Structure 1
Amino acid sequence: MPSPKKPAIAKWTDDTEIVSITLSLRAIADIELSPNYTTAFHAWFLHQVRDSDPQLSAYLHDGQSEKAFAISPLNGKLELISNTFLAKADSTYTWTISALSKPLCAWLQTWYSNHPEIINLYKGNFAIEQIDINQPPTTYNNLWSVSSNPEPRFTLAFLTPTCFRSKNHHLPLPIPTNIFHSYLRRWNDFAPEAFPQEDFLAWIEQVVYITNYDLNCTKVAVAKQGYVTGFTGTVEFAVDLKASQNSDFERLLSALIKLANYCGTGHKTTFGLGQTRQIGKNEVGSEKSEKEAITTTPIQEHLIKRIAELTDLFLQTKKRQGGDRAQNTATIWATILARRELGESLKAIAIDLDMPYETVRKYAQAARKAIGALESNLRL
């Protein structure tokens, strides 16, 4: 088998803190992928890190800071067959990985030089045909130094479903403060110099506003949340520079817009949500910008509806409990049971939900018992 082609990496130095690469993949045989297949790619990537740097892998998985990486879903045609997606033999796809910290960029550079030729997933393998630089290697200081006053208008394309956490719920709206809070958290965690969050977001609320948008809403299943609603499409923003009067924040705004191309936007970017790209002025409204949006296949409506149905049923058994605790428990039970009905193993579900296997097993038993009790009551 010929070795995968490698891109020139002259600018990828030991000082690199941010980079994004795209892997061109080919399905070696027909591969059945679960609805939440990005979980498998997420796990594969962390296993690659763990094999050579267990400490870095543990930090990426368990660290309390912002996640230092982001991945995309597969970009390519997946066929929907029954309750699974099918990547047909010899079909080609692209998959993007972004690294947002200096330690991870250093690891990725070493990995790139001696990467495997195959991505081994539970149900099949993809050949790595080629690796290209998606967004150039750079540093946070460089993003700052090349940034100046922001353009009066800029456009962001949200290529995969995007949402934000808001008071234990999810908000599928492109509110400027939420968007730039998302980028600032990464910046403050990984850049040499942090900026005051409250002051910057208050400034964003004052000077950045939406002038146009073309959005769609899509429901996707994500880990413990059961399912969330995310938006995709393009949003045009304007900057009221007359109201600004803060040159540092203007420069930071420009730098964060550039960072968005690497880090993505919002929640669960390490599972493929929130992929983002700045659209150049010459691309806005063009056929080129429309074609470059990543095509994603949302989770089956069957799974989403089943989780909702089961959640309602379990809430009936928890009327005395009430509150957020009852809602959260019902949602987790429903997610576990709905995915078991689709044939996923408890082990795979436990890994995806980041929960102990025994806890997931007990929840599954409790969920089945609750369903049995409800069915018995209906027969009486």
Structure 2
Amino acid sequence: MAARSLRVTRQGSLKPASKSSSQATVTWSKETALLGIRLAVQPVQDSTLYPQYTIGLHAWFLNQVRQTDPQLSAQLHDEQNEKPFTLSALIDPRSPQDRDLKLQASQTYHWYLTALSQPVVDWLTQWLQNSPTEIDLRTAPLRIVSWSIAHPATTYETLFGRAEFNPDSSLLPHPSPSSPLLAFAAKGTISPYPSQPICFTAICAAGTISPTLNTSQTNFSPGLTNP
């Protein structure tokens, strides 16, 4: 199976969190359709987030996509389909369940980006090679300190295969899915929980659950949106 190799050189404040060498190599197959990234970020200064700041994170992410892949950005933003990515709220690792809007410049926070289709994984792969060093978030600009793999690269076929032999082994974890600031949207309904029907109804609608399922499409997976 062909593999995609990603080499990131530390520049400025951006570096792979889990490596001590000057370079890190991350490899996953070109068929990868699910991949989760954890960004470690620090406020430029002590600041307070505005209540709907997740809308700002969502807009920043789509703008990043637009700068290098306008067609994909248009699909993610304009098309009325389930969105094949998730974005978390900012998470304080000291207290993951809290959603304090006050940020401390001395504290590192986590922001999770999950790609749920091949096109988004492809874009994320390229983005990590030349990602920005700051997130321009209104009232609370953030410095990107490092990144690491949050959810290992895999494919839907792999998940289906695991489920066939062990139904309890196929998990799609997401940090704080019940956050009041975020919701899962599918088929015109909004839910605070990534329930099984929401997560997999659209996948099943795209084709039969078999190794021939086309995971290269961008319109079959649930997306995380702001209610």
TM-score over 0.5 (shorter chain): yes
Cα distance in 2 between the residues matched to 1:40 and 1:111: 19
1:35 aligned counterpart, secondary structure:
coil
Task: Please show how residues 1-380 of structure 1 align to structure 2 within 5 Å.
Answer: 2-6=12-16, 10-76=26-92, 85-147=101-163, 148-151=165-168, 159-161=176-178, 179-188=195-204, 193-195=207-209, 269-271=224-226
Q: Deviations over 1:295-344 (max 9, x none)?
A: xxxxxxxxxxxxxxxxxxxxxxxxxxxxxxxxxxxxxxxxxxxxxxxxxx
Question: Which structure has greater helix proportion?
Answer: 1
In structure 1, C-alpha distance between the alignment counterparts of 2:77 and 2:187, rounded to whole Å: 24
Over the matched positions of the two proteins, sequence identity in percent amounts to 33
What amino acid is aligned across from residue 183 of structure 1 in structure 2? C
Q: What SS is found at the alignment partner of 1:161?
A: coil
Q: Give CA deviations for 1:176-220 in whole Å, capped at 9, x if unaligned.
A: xx9221111352367xx435xxxxxxxxxxxxxxxxxxxxxxxxx
* Distance of 1:146 and 1:168 partners within structure 2: 30
Q: 1:118·1:126 contact (CA, 8 Å) conserved in 2? A: yes
Match of 1:275 in 2: none
Quote how far apart the aligned CAs of 1:150 are.
1.8
Against the structure 1 CA distance between its residues 106 and 169, is the aligned structure 2 distance closer, same or farther, given a 3 Å change threshold?
Answer: closer
Cα distance, 1:12 vs structure 2 = 2.3
**Where in structure 2 are there 5+ consecutive unaligned residues?**
1-10, 19-23, 211-220
Q: CA deviation at 1:18?
A: 1.0
For residues 100-123 of structure 1, give each alpha carbon's deviation from its aligned partner in whole angstroms, at most 9, with x where no partner exists: 111110000000011011111122
- State how far apart, in whole Å, the 2-side matches of 1:67 and 1:170 are: 13
State the alpha-carbon separation in 1 of the partners of residues 47 and 160 from structure 2: 43
Q: Where do 5+ consecutive residues of structure 1 fail to align?
A: 196-247, 249-262, 272-352, 354-380
* SS of aligned partner of 1:123: coil
Offset at residue 164 of structure 1 (A): 7.2
Measured in 1, the distance between the counterparts of 2:42 and 2:174 equals 27
SS in 2 for 1:11: strand
Aligned partners of 2:167 and 2:99: how far apart in 1? 42
Residue-by-residue CA offset, 1:227-274 (whole Å, 9 max, x unaligned): xxxxxxxxxxxxxxxxxxxxx8xxxxxxxxxxxxxx88xxx7234xxx
Give the counterpart letter for 2:72 in structure 1: L
Given that 2:49 and 2:102 are in contact with CA atoms closer than 8 Å, whether structure 1 keeps it comes out as yes
Deviation at 1:51, TM superposition (A): 0.8
Q: 1:3 to 1:170 in 2, by over 3 A?
A: closer
- When the two chains are superposed, the root-mean-square deviation of aligned CA atoms in Å is 3.5
> What secondary structure, in the 3-state scheme, does the structure 1 residue paired with 2:81 have?
coil
Distance (whole Å) between structure 1 residues aligned to residue 188 and residue 115 of structure 2: 27
Bigger Rg over Cα: 1
Conserved? CA contact 1:69–1:270, under 8 Å: no
Kindly state the Cα deviation for residue 146 of structure 1 after the two structures are TM-superposed. 3.4
Question: Given residue 5 of structure 1, which amino acid in structure 2 is its aligned partner?
Answer: K
Residues 66 and 185, structure 1, Cα contact 8 Å, conserved in 2: no
Distance 1:90 1:166, change over 3 A: closer
| Aligned-partner residue type, residue 167 of structure 2 | P
Looking at structure 2, the residues matched to 140 and 165 of structure 1 have their Cα atoms a distance apart, in angstroms, of 20
SS at match of 1:124: coil
Deviation string, structure 1 residues 22-67 (Cα, Å, up to 9, x no partner) = 0001111122211111111111100100111111111001112210
The higher-RCO structure (CA 8 Å, 6+ apart) is 2
Normalised TM-score (structure 2): 0.70
Paired residues of 1:20 and 1:133 also in contact (CA < 8 A): yes
Residues 36 and 111 of structure 1: CA distance in aligned 2, closer, same or farther (over 3 Å):
same
TM-score of the aligned structures, taking structure 1 as reference length: 0.44
Report if aligned partners of 2:185, 2:225 keep a CA contact under 8 Å in 1: no
How far apart are the structure 2 equivalents of 1:18 and 1:36? 27
Q: Which residue of 2 aligns with 1:329?
A: none
Shift of the 170–114 alpha-carbon distance from structure 1 to 2, 3 Å rule, reads closer
Cα distance in 1 for partners of 2:200, 2:188 equals 20
